[in-house]
């Protein structure tokens, strides 16, 4: 199936997907925020079933972990590591990441510090993956250690799986 980019102009666009032969196919529909998906209609002899439940992982990180999609190239060519993690593992990966933030650093607004975002992330099911970066490098190591430990303790206390990645560095 050929991919194409549609304008975000509120217009109605329909696509016919023909696969050529009977069989099982996996189709992924990607769209930008604000786009609406109105569903799938199957032919009289076709069937449609829900995808199997997948392990959900919520990533809390900085700009390296923000969603990265660039329509200038092939659909996976410009995706960030979070999207690649989803493609390669089959996990249902959500990102709760914000540039300029860290365990201590808040990205300009206190709500973006990792522990503050953890509160929202724990409202949804799944494991929590922390991906720190360069934003905390100028902070006091003792303060950083306390914040990281608090994030990990809150995650474990909530009964969630905890995944901690080594920090990303430039």
List pLDDT tens digits, range 93-102: 888 888 889 9
d(CA 6, CA 13): 8
List pLDDT tens digits, range 127-145: 999 998 889 988 899 999 9
pTM above 0.95, yes or no: no
Strands 56-61 and 92-95: parallel
List pLDDT tens digits, range 110-129: 678 999 999 989 998 999 99
The three-class DSSP label of residue 154 is helix
**Token duo for residue 96:** 């709760």
**Token duo for residue 66:** 């923000």
**Token duo for residue 74:** 């092939």
């Amino acid at each position: 199936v050929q991919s194409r980019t549609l304008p975000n102009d509120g217009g109605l666009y329909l696509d016919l997907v023909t696969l050529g032969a009977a069989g099982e196919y996996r189709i992924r529909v990607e769209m930008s925020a604000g786009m609406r998906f109105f569903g799938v209609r199957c032919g009289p002899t076709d069937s449609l079933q829900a995808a199997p439940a997948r392990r959900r992982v919520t990533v809390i990180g900085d700009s390296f972990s923000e969603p990265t999609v660039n329509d200038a190239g092939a659909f996976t060519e410009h995706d960030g590591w979070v999207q690649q993690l989803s493609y390669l593992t089959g996990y249902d990966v959500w990102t709760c990441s914000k540039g300029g933030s860290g365990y201590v650093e808040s990205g300009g607004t206190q709500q973006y510090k990792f522990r503050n975002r953890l509160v929202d992330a724990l409202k949804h099911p799944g494991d929590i993956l922390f991906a720190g970066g360069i934003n905390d490098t100028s902070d006091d190591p003792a303060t950083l250690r306390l914040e990281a430990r608090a994030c990990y303790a809150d995650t474990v206390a909530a009964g969630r799986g905890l995944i901690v990645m080594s920090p990303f560095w430039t």
